[in-house]
Amino acid sequence: MAATLLRIHPDNPPQNRLLQAVDVLRNGGVIIYPTDTVYGLGCDIHNAKAVEKLCRIKGIHPDKANLSFICSDLSHITDYAHGITTPVYKVLKKALPGPFTFIFEASPKAPRYGGVKRKTVGIRVPDNNICTSLVRELGNPIVSTSIHDDDELLEYSTDPDLIFEKYRPLVDLVIDGGFGNNIASTVVDCTNEDFDIIRQGAGDIEQYL
């Protein structure tokens, strides 16, 4: 079944529209939604079949996929990430919500996809009302990967109508929350407490250290 296009106001997302999207996630659907950087492909963290579908769309294998967990705030992070020290937590509090993906050691509770225990997890708390409201209404994080192509900046990754046109046969819902950016999040490795930048993106971690 082809996807639906759902327009949601980015500043004040109406609850009835958010619940429409949450319903799709709860039923194992894959959605495209706005973040504070590029648009993302997402599904419910607890639905392995939905994660497999997301990986197929992206063309990656579930056990090799670098998927991020989108959280609404810092409260879920210790469920999935292990070894967050007080100094690291203080930086997270300053930097989030914001355009960062923080890599941590995976906790024993981190879901296994493709039957493989994950060594690390990427955690995001985007500065985007639609995104964080979705996670809050769902009650748990969303597994996410960007629709951004790392090799080139393509127009379809910023314009919701073009995104809908391209992904309509593949996903269950596309949320139009206005134009997205075409710079991905900054990926920061925190596994050694060093804040190593793996990919420089939209966020500048130096200002929070």
CATH number at residue 50: 3.90.870.10
Residue 75 burial (CB count, 10 A): 8
- Strand-pairing partners, residue 199, are 187
In a domain, 81, yes or no: no
**pLDDT digits over 62-92, tens only?**
777 778 999 999 988 888 998 899 999 999 9
Domain with 141, as residue range(s), is 4-73+125-182
Question: What does the pLDDT profile of the chain (209 residues) look like in tens digits?
Answer: 679 999 999 999 999 999 999 999 999 999 999 999 999 999 999 999 999 999 999 888 877 777 899 999 998 888 899 889 999 999 999 999 999 999 999 998 888 876 667 889 999 999 999 999 999 999 999 999 988 665 555 555 789 999 999 999 999 999 999 999 888 899 999 999 899 999 999 999 999 99
Q: How many residues does the chain have?
A: 209
Domain count, the chain: 1
In a domain, 34, yes or no: yes
In a domain, 136, yes or no: yes
Buried b (16+ CB within 10 A) or exposed e, 38-66: bbbbbbbbebbebbbbbbebbeeebeebe
d(CA 7, CA 184): 22
In a domain, 113, yes or no: no
User: What residue type is assigned to position 170 of the chain?
Assistant: L
In a domain, 156, yes or no: yes
